[in-house]
Amino acid sequence: MSIPTDFKLSKYTARKGCFCKVQQEDLLGFLKHVSDEDIGQTDCSIQPTKFEDVFQVTSIDFFTPVVDNVYLQGRIAIANVLSDIYSLGITDLTTVVMVLCLCPDWDKDLLDVVAGTLMRGFSDGAKLGGVPVDGGQTTYSPWPMIGGTVMSVSHKSEIINGTHASVGDVVILTKPLGTQPLANAMQWLWQQEESEHRRELVASLGMTREEIETNVARSGKWMAMLNKTAAEMMHHADAVAATDITGFGLLNHATNLMKTMQPGTLMKIDRVPCMPGAIEVTQRSGFFKLLQGKAAETSGGLLVILPASKVESALDYFQEKEGYCPWVVGQIVEEGQYPWLEEGRRAGLATDVEFFSADAEPKVDLE
């Protein structure tokens, strides 16, 4: 049996991709039941082993469908699983254990083909990252989910998690933003035959069906793209530290990164690349917080802090590998009172921040 042409994987969840994650402010409240200390700023566990200067680095991530293409969803899931560990500059990964939750409403034949296709996409993406998938756990759930745990045994020289950003350091972003509005636009498109409200939403976008489908297909490639080259670039450019941009959105992830830095510095973001169509969907629908830097992203790029003297070398290295140039989005500035900085944050969007449509295409081969 093949997957029916009218099968919509994202139909089986009310919160797509990393938008299913618990919001950061709620999570920090939950963590207070575990410890009074300020924990939860990093996504990876870094634990010493019995060998000198060798650490076990572990991360877990899983989420609901963000696309309807089942194979692509598997590819996106593994890319997202690996991103946290790539944000530490680690590229030599030891193993991945897969987590898969399947919908009990699917009949046996559909269950078999969907599960197999998700696993194949996940496995193919893992091969591109050079990491084996060694087992996993499969359950039933009202909302399907896929993800896993990744582990690396790494020497301290392989791990980039500096805490001393300097005034004048530059911030670059390796993928554009906009997965949340585009995923929803696609869902509105196929729901418009069933709902007058959805027809009105699609009409408000001022985009043809072909334009929406083209933009969404491109966003799928961005999400499936591994952040491995970005991790390699971190070593090439002597990066200070990085974070991946996922469920908490650009501004919250940037804030978390800066909380790990020494006092006295802030991150100012003044240019933000977005996927074609994402800004239009956000502005015309009135939904999402993309233009506030707070929209959830699924399998986003790395936000990297690096010395200004290394920027040109970093951009050239990345472009040679991936065929496009990452974006300089901001800089590290001296701590102070700024009109663009929200209370309690160490990262913010400049008063005159520019959100723009990124003219780039990821080199991702899909089935």
The burial of 293, by beta-carbon neighbours within 10 Å (0-12 exposed, 13-18 middle, 19 or more buried), is given as buried
Q: Which of 18, 20, 101, 103 is catalytic?
A: 18
Strands 54-63 and 45-48: what pairing?
Answer: antiparallel
Local structure of 137: helix, strand or coil? strand
Strands 45-48 and 347-357: what pairing?
Answer: unpaired
> Can you tell me the distance from the alpha carbon of 221 to that of 302, in angstroms, rounded to the nearest whole number?
16
> Can you tell me the distance from the alpha carbon of 110 to that of 130, in angstroms, rounded to the nearest whole number?
30
**Residue 274: active-site member:** no
Strands 347-357 and 265-274: what pairing?
Answer: parallel
**In the numeric block, which tokens belong to residue 217?**
């297909």
Beta carbons within 8 Å of 97's beta carbon, 6+ residues apart:
133, 134, 135, 136, 137, 148, 149
- H/E stretch holding 132: none
> Can you tell me the distance from the alpha carbon of 55 to that of 127, in angstroms, rounded to the nearest whole number?
23
Q: Point out the residues that are catalytic.
A: 18
